[in-house]
Amino acid sequence: MSTRDRIIKSAVNLFMQQGVAKTTTKQIAASAAVAEGSIYRYFPSKDGLAWQVFKEYHQHIAVQLQQSVSQDINLEEKIHSLVSCFLKMADEDWLMFSYYLTSQHTHMKSVTEDMLTPYQVLTEVVEQGISTGGIKNIEANVITAMVMGAVHQIVINKIYSRIKGDLYVHRKLISKTIAAMVRIEACHYE
């Protein structure tokens, strides 16, 4: 494990336990068994470290999601692929995944238009669904939000210990539920 990776792992671990602000560079250095100064050879600052780690993983997730649906044609298949991919990633690197989810609010302002995001991948799938007629409801942003939230909260509730064990086992139920969500027809506002 490289020095850089040791720093990342130690940092994310501490960030999750205490938050970025309450985590000191001294703690990170001690946990990674490097000198405090060494952090600055790989990252511009503590906040820069927090951001860079978020950004890399954020984009990693987006790429994985995009690849997971690349072969699918059918909407239901796409949903299943996305959900499965998402849950598998959460199970496989729980530390990074939970850090990604809980630190979103902090970093979202810094996400620029040119970056590929999970939200964009999902939006694209939904919009394709609308254009091909599989999705009747035309309020894409509301649907997309609800779908994304539904899956996110599964992970968040595991962080809060309201759900235990691997999440991948729930992929069918979750996919089915989401399939039902997108099938809803548009409402006429009174």
Partner DNA sequence: GATGAATGAGCTTTCATTCAT
Partner DNA sequence: AATGAATGAAAGCTCATTCAT
Q: Which residues bind its own copies (CB under 8 A)?
A: 19-22, 102, 105-106, 108, 119, 137, 139, 141-154, 156-157, 159-160, 162-163, 169-170, 172-174, 176-177, 180-181, 183-184, 186-187, 189-190
Cα within 13 Å of Cα(182), Cβ side: 28
Largest Cα span, the chain: 64
Q: Which is nearer to DNA, 23 or 144 (CB)?
A: 23
d(Cα 150, Cα 76) in Å, to the nearest integer? 16
Cα–Cα distances in angstroms (integers) from residue 26 to residues 11, 96, 129, 132, 160, in the given order: 10, 21, 50, 55, 28
Q: Which amino acid makes up residue 136?
A: K
Q: Which of residues 28-57 bind DNA (CB under 7 A)?
A: 34-41, 45-48
Q: CB of 169: closest distance to DNA in angstroms? A: 38
* Residue 102 touches which of DNA, its own copies, none (Cβ within 5-8 Å per kind): its own copies
Rule CB under 7 A: choose which of 8, 15, 23, 118 binds DNA. Answer: 23
